[in-house]
Structures are given as structure tokens and as C-alpha cells.
Structure 1
Amino acid sequence: MSIEKGLPAGFNPDSFDAIVVGAGYAGATCARRLAESCGFKVCVLERRDHIAGNAYDYVDEAGILIHKYGPHIYHTVNDRVNEFLSRFTEWTDYQHKVLANIHGTLMPVPFNHRSLKLAFGDEKGERLYQKLVDTF
């Protein structure tokens, strides 16, 4: 429920097993999982008049899809996450690639494992990667 103008009269938090604050990606997912997996009666409180948090979009009067808070790109390598979300949406294929030209070599941005190998060579790049993984 939207709490943009405050909680509704007679709201009783004791009538729910869980109260989730925020209906963005995390809040909506938590609420859904609590309801489906745990059988909880869940109340979602959202201060805005819409769900989806900063990823909210809508079709305007001219039929144009508007990203109210700016465009968002979803990406994951986690099959469970992708399977869960695919129950609720159809996907538009999109390839997002950002490369930096560093001394004539195109490297992925943000800097990652592959970037280290391109910048320092396979062997040294791998050693640096392992040091980063071990340290952080």
C-alpha cells in the first residue's frame, strides 16, 4: 500500500506475518518470497504511488515508454535469479558493452578479471586477480 499520505486509518500491523518497507526490486522480491515460500501474509509499504522503485517505467499519453528515474539495465549470471524474474516479465535482448581505450587496447569497463589480463598479460593479470580476491 502507498503510504505517500501516511498509513490508512485502522492499519493494524499485527494482522500481518511480515511487513516489508519498499516495493523496489529488493522489497518486492522479499515480499513475494515470504508469501510463496513461507506462506506469510505480507504487507508492503511504499512511500511512492507506484511499485518498482527507481526502475519504474510507464507508457505516456503518446504511447512512449518513459523511465521515470532514468534507464536501468538488468544483468545477472545467476540462473536462479533469472528464472525467478522471468516468471513476471518478458525480456528485451540487449547487449551492453563499455570499453576503454588504454594505450590502444580496448578493455572492459568496469575494470574486471579480463581487463587485468589485457593490461598486464595472462600470467601477471591472473596473479593480480588472485591477490585482489584474497585481499577483498
Structure 2
Amino acid sequence: MFDWLIVGAGFAGSVLAERIASQRHESVLLVDRRSHVGGNAYDCYNEAGILIHRYGPHIFHTNSQSIVDYLSQFTQWRTYEHRVLAAVDGKLLPIPINLDTINRLYGLELNSAQLEEFFASRRETVEDVRTAEDVVV
């Protein structure tokens, strides 16, 4: 006998089961059609003993320290930095566009305040904004 039945052991089901068990001190039966918890964010060792992401890579992003603290009870973190570069005029530039992108693209050394002035001096008026390009212009 259980106090709760939760169907689905992905993120939502796993967290809900843990919270009910640890905070309410009630019993939970957590079921899933897969043989593991964590949904698609599941790692396992293959036949060669190499840790793999069975359902593809997963990257976690948050600015909330309380979420990091909570999840750190259940996992160890691997530091990862994801950087996207675009090839523009023979240069590899960071995307989304930031201060470094503009400085490298135009050979400048602007600070944040100067970047605002730079953009203001080149701003064009678009009467009818209909596309992503219109927004950038």
C-alpha cells in the first residue's frame, strides 16, 4: 500500500515523488514504462564501459542557486561551457550577438556605454516590423 501513485518518472514525476516522500513523509509508488528515472536526461554505461547519454545530450541551465542546491543532492555536476560561433566575413564570431561580437566584427574596442552609442548612430527606422531581420535593424 502506498499513499501516492505517480505515473511518469521524468523530471516532474521524480521531483514530485521526492518532495512528497521527504517533506510529507508519505509513501510513493513511482512507475514509468522505462526502467529508470530522469526521463530523457539519463546516463548509462554502454557495453564498453563508456558513460553515454542514451537519449541524446542534455545541458542544464538556471540562474537559481536554490535549484542548483536542490539538484546537487542527487547528482554531481560536470562543468560545461557552450559557445556558438557564426562564420561572418571569414571571422568566427560569438552568437547571440554581444559586445565581443561587435568589437571583433568591426575591429573596435568599445565598452558597454560606447556600444549603445554605436548602435544609436546606425539605427534605422523600420515602419512595419514583420520579421526577425526587421527587429535587428
TM over 0.5, shorter chain: yes
CA drift of 1:99 comes to: 4.3
The 5 A counterparts of 1:80-91 are 80-91=66-77
The 5 A counterparts of 1:5-44 are 15-44=1-30
Q: Which residue of 1 aligns with 2:38?
A: 52
Higher relative contact order (CA 8 A, sep 6+): 1
Structure 1's 101 and 43: CA in aligned 2 closer, same or farther, altered over 3 A? same
Q: Which residue of 2 aligns with 1:73?
A: 59
Helix, strand or coil at the partner of 1:55: coil
Structure 1's 99 and 34: CA in aligned 2 closer, same or farther, altered over 3 A? farther
Contact kept? 2:7, 2:32, Cα under 8 Å: yes
Helix, strand or coil at the partner of 1:80: helix
Are residue 94 (structure 1) and residue 111 (structure 2) matched?
no
* Structure 1 unaligned spans of 5+: 1-14, 126-136
Q: Which has the larger radius of gyration?
A: 2
Cα distance in structure 2, aligned partners of 1:77 and 1:102? 31
CA drift of 1:122 comes to: 4.3
TM-score, normalised by the number of residues in structure 1: 0.62
Helix, strand or coil at the partner of 2:69: helix
Cα distance in structure 1, aligned partners of 2:79 and 2:2? 39
CA drift of 1:98 comes to: 2.3
Cα distance in structure 1, aligned partners of 2:95 and 2:29? 46
Q: Which moved more, 1:28-37 or 1:49-58?
A: 49-58
Are residue 61 (structure 1) and residue 47 (structure 2) matched?
yes
Residues 87-123 of structure 1, C-alpha deviations (whole Å, 9 max, x = no match): 11111111112245678864328xxxx69xx7xx649
Identity score, percent? 45
Cα distance in structure 1, aligned partners of 2:54 and 2:69? 26
Q: Which residue of 2 aligns with 1:108?
A: 96
TM-score, normalised by the number of residues in structure 2: 0.62
For 1:68, give the aligned amino acid: R
Contact kept? 1:21, 1:46, Cα under 8 Å: yes
Contact kept? 1:57, 1:68, Cα under 8 Å: yes
TM-align CA RMSD: 2.7
> How many residue pairs end up in the alignment?
103
